[in-house]
A and B are shown apart, each in its own frame.
Chain A
Amino acid sequence: MPQITYREAIRHALAEELTRDPNVVVMGEEVAQFNGAYKVTDGLLATFGPTRIVDTPISEAGFIGLGVGASMLGIRPVMELMFWSFYSVAFDQILNNAANVRYMSGGQINCPIVIRGPANGGTNVGATHSHTPENVLANHPGVKVVVPATAYDAKGLLKSAIRDNDPVFFLENTILYGDKGEVPEAEYVIPLGKADIKRVGADLTIVTYGRCVIHSLKAAEVLEKDHGISVEVVDLRTIRPLDFDTVLASVKKTNRVLIVEEQKPFASVGTQLAYMIQREAFDDLDGPIHRLATIDAPAIYSPPVETEQLPNPGRVIKAVLAAMA
């Protein structure tokens, strides 16, 4: 099976869906002539032309809102946010208009839009560019939120997202763009809302998603080798809809759980997970639910310190050892 990067996997998903459905349009800042600020859309303009691959001004509220309006008439816009951090200037369009229009119209109007782009810290770009808004987004009924960790998942999930009739927010990671993984050449899709057990284990379940999956897998190897601890890693892949059954089955098997997330701790995705786990698996737990998150401050610039502010394999190992103590 060929190895391709996470970036290429997303590009292939876009190209395949652009080919499959003439209503799909890719739109965003620098997606066309510049070939993508992070080169995700590299070459798409040459293949699909300027009607399908559209450069926008730096005008997120304008172009995201335009995409929402176009989607109401049957266009399937795939909008790139150069950083998900820029969602704040389009908040009204994303979370008032896209999220609510179906409901407020009594189900008469659909909004099949995808908004995608990177949402992560760890690149020393300071607090304004390092937001991870999956909890904020998922707080809005009507939307779907996807955070893929691998090339394989990114491709299969993005294809499902583009075919979905509800608004889907797809959160990528600039640090993962260069990571290679096995991706089949034959077409496949991965349904939204299906978690994936990335590593089977017996002693403790790590529930995680996004780049923290990679950290957790690295930590799990060390924990197995140096400490004899067998860690199961559950990758949620999609935040909403949420495959809680897979989480529950794993927790019931290992009886210990650590949530790892690149979120600020207060009212994070992990907070919701912890509530659900205690509610539905209280008697299966051998100890309190643990959680490792980003250290609670705006993203620090200082490069070596930012690494420590975020979850990383070393912090995951410590958190697992604390949970097992």
Chain B
Amino acid sequence: MSKKPSAIADIKAESAVKATDYALAPINAALSSTQRIELYRTMIRIRRFEERSLRAYQGKNPSGGTNIGGFLHLYIGQEAVAVGCCSLMGKNDHVITAYRDHGHAIAVGMDTKPLMAELYGKITGCSKGKGGSMHYFAPDKNFWGGHGIVGGQIPLGTGLAYALKYQGKKGAAMAFMGDGAVNQGAVHEAYNLASLWNLPVVFVIENNGYSMGTSQARSSAGQLAKRAEGYNMTWGQCDGHDVYEVRALMDKHLTLAREQSRPSTVEIDTYRYRGHSVADPDNTYRTKTEIEEYRNKKDPIQVSLHKLLAEGVLTETLADQIDAEARAEAESAAEFADASPYPTPDDIQKDVYWESDHPAQRKSEGRLFFD
């Protein structure tokens, strides 16, 4: 990104501010200066966390191995979506998402140290090094993953909404998916059940234009969110580069879920600058020019920064300070991850069964594990 560690330097002259100013929507107008800054801060914390994780992924550790194995699906460019949506969560609202989950995890309030440690495969990771990048979970933050199979989490998210309704709790589930997921059968089965049973769920399609390396035009017929109409669900669509716009739209849909127990679908247009995963060469299906266009004109952090400066909420000095803190936090998370121990072979068979982890309360008999 920028050469010197200044958020201000990232601002391009053409940074777009939309004509429709969603900052005036009641849900945004009510935000205090501190709250506005926090939205910005969370976005930049996600960005710096992921940039740091990318360096760790690409670098070697001192023993010559890799710091991070497997896949690393970066959210860079999409931060306003998770931050906007999760900033609206109340105590009975729940989130579930797919494998591009770092942004959601930070947005619901997970500490970045165990998140980075999870990437490093350390026992101090949020899933004790058992899940990896795609499988972050924090039930104490109402965050239910982090799921690896495209669309497979959407029935689960619908089940969270079912549980809320069964338990008589006034809340909503947000079930996030990418644009590629809308073609999976499980998503459509979940749509049908949610609408049929009046479940308080918002299906959030983060449309970054590409299902892995296949563009929307080559993978999906029609407008993605409009498929909701076939299930008698309302739907909405917005620009996901402006955190205020995301919040304005999501607020309506969450209210529908919480107040009327009706599901709906939203399609939030966004863009990822990096490949589908870091392993993706990213030069076969889109142009560098296209990526630069988004970076220069629609970057959610720049859009937000520009607005906050214009609103007089943020000063250049404070913006630089927030960025420096986010970089320091990411560095500190990497140091924590680096210094943490790996799980041991003895840990492999822990956390498999509730019963084997609670031997004193075990009621079944016989062998649970085999060799």
Contacts and interface: CB of A to CB of B under 8 A. Distances in A.
Interface of A: 25, 51, 56-57, 59, 61-75, 92-93, 96-97, 101-110, 141-142, 144, 160, 163-166, 191-195, 238, 240-245, 272, 276
Nearest to A142: B352
Contacts of B279: none
27 contacts: A51-B166, A57-B189, A57-B192, A57-B193, A62-B189, A62-B192, A62-B193, A65-B155, A66-B159, A67-B159, A68-B155, A68-B159, A69-B156, A72-B160, A75-B159, A75-B162, A93-B156, A102-B354, A104-B137, A105-B145, A106-B129, A107-B350, A109-B137, A141-B352, A160-B364, A193-B365, A241-B366
Given A101-B145, A163-B363, A106 B186 contact: no
Interface string B129-147: 1110001011100001111
A244 B366 contact: yes
A166 B354 CA distance: 6
A106 B139 contact: no
Contacts of A241: 364-368
List the 9 closest pairs (A to B, CB-CB), nearest first.
A69-B159, A65-B155, A62-B189, A193-B366, A107-B351, A69-B156, A106-B128, A241-B366, A73-B163
Given A62-B190, A238-B366, A241-B368, A97 B156 contact: yes
A211 to B, nearest CB: 21
Interface in B140-170: 144-149, 152-160, 162-164, 166-167
B145 A68 contact: no
A50 B148 CA distance: 34
B126 A106 contact: yes
A281 B141 CA distance: 50
B166 A106 contact: no
Nearest to A272: B370
B1 to A, nearest CB: 32
A105 B152 contact: no
B130 A104 contact: yes
B292 interface: no
A70 B357 CA distance: 22
Interface of B: 94, 96, 125-131, 135, 137-139, 144-149, 152-160, 162-164, 166-167, 185-186, 189-190, 192-193, 196, 349-355, 357, 363-370
B365 A96 contact: no
Nearest to B132: A104
Given A92-B149, A97-B152, A166-B353, A65 B158 contact: yes
Contacts of A66: 155-156, 158-159, 162, 190, 193
A242 B370 CA distance: 9
Contacts of B365: 191-194, 241, 243
Contacts of B163: 69-70, 72-75
A102 B159 contact: no
Given A65-B155, A73-B163, A105-B139, A193 B186 contact: no
A75 B148 CA distance: 24
Contact of B354 (A63, A72, A97, A165): A165
B137 A106 contact: yes
Contact of B366 (A62, A105, A243): A243
B166 A103 contact: no
Contacts of B155: 61-66, 68-69, 93
A109 B139 contact: yes
A325 to B, nearest CB: 31
Given A65-B186, A93-B186, A105-B139, A59 B166 contact: no
Given A102-B353, A163-B363, A193-B366, A73 B160 contact: yes
A65 B161 CA distance: 12
Nearest to A72: B144
A106 B159 contact: no
B363 A191 contact: yes
Contacts of B368: 193, 240-241
A69 B96 contact: yes
Contacts of B154: 65
A70 B162 contact: yes
A244 B152 CA distance: 35
Contact of B196 (A57, A67, A106, A195): A57
Contacts of B137: 101, 104-106, 108-109
B178 to A, nearest CB: 16
B284 to A, nearest CB: 28
A92 B154 CA distance: 12
B367 A242 contact: yes
A104 B158 contact: no
A104 B139 contact: no
Contact of A62 (B138, B144, B158, B350): B158
B131 A104 contact: yes
Nearest to A168: B364
A59 B194 CA distance: 12
Contacts of A242: 366-367, 370
B55 to A, nearest CB: 25
A76 to B, nearest CB: 11
Contact of B353 (A73, A97, A142): A142
Given A101-B145, A240-B368, A245-B366, 6 more contacts: A65-B159, A102-B351, A102-B352, A106-B128, A166-B354, A191-B363
Contacts of A276: 370
Contacts of A165: 354-355
Nearest to B355: A166
Nearest to B366: A193
A238 B367 CA distance: 10
Contact of B130 (A92, A106, A245): A106
A311 B38 CA distance: 67
A191 B364 CA distance: 5
A244 B162 CA distance: 39
Contact of B363 (A25, A73, A93, A164): A164
A141 B368 CA distance: 8
A69 B160 contact: yes
B47 to A, nearest CB: 26
Contacts of A192: 363-366
